[in-house]
């Protein structure tokens, strides 16, 4: 981990960000006090394997759709409710 001043970061931002992209972590100081840390972010995954999703969902609680509907009706009311059999995308 490297420490640089705010002024150094401003003057050498391209070089610092190139280092960060390569994995270096910087602590930024202002008036001698550490104020920030610049570090590479974790790359976002575009694909999650099905086996991983199944492992994560294996212990998820079961959803009781009837109970959920009753709670929603109690909270929101039933005046504007769309029929369960109706196509929700059909225009009125």
CA 62/CA 29 separation, integer angstroms: 50
The pTM of this model reads 0.48
State the virtual CA torsion across 45, 47, 53, 55 in degrees, nearest 10. -70
Task: List the beta bridge partners of residue 37.
Answer: 27
26: how many CB neighbours lie within 10 A of its CB? 19
Residue 77: both structure tokens together: 């009311």
For the chain, list the domains and their CATH numbers: 2-38 (3.40.1620)
Q: For 8-52, what is each residue's pLDDT tens digit?
A: 999 999 999 999 999 999 999 999 999 999 999 988 888 999 999
Q: For 57-92, what is each residue's pLDDT tens digit?
A: 998 988 898 899 899 889 988 887 766 676 767 765
Contact in structure between 8 and 15 (CB atoms under 8 Å): no
CA atoms within 13 A on the CB side of 91: 0
Residue 36: both structure tokens together: 């920030």
- The more confidently predicted of residues 2 and 88 is 2
């Amino acid at each position: 981990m490297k420490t640089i001043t705010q002024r150094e970061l401003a003057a050498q931002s391209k070089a610092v960000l190139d280092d960060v992209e390569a994995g270096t972590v910087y602590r930024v100081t202002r008036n001698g006090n550490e104020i920030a840390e610049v570090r590479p972010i974790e790359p976002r995954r575009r694909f999650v394997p099905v086996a991983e999703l199944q492992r994560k969902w294996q212990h998820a609680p079961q959803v009781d759709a009837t109970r959920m509907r009753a709670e929603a009706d109690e909270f929101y009311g039933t005046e504007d409710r769309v029929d369960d059999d109706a196509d929700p995308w059909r225009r009125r």
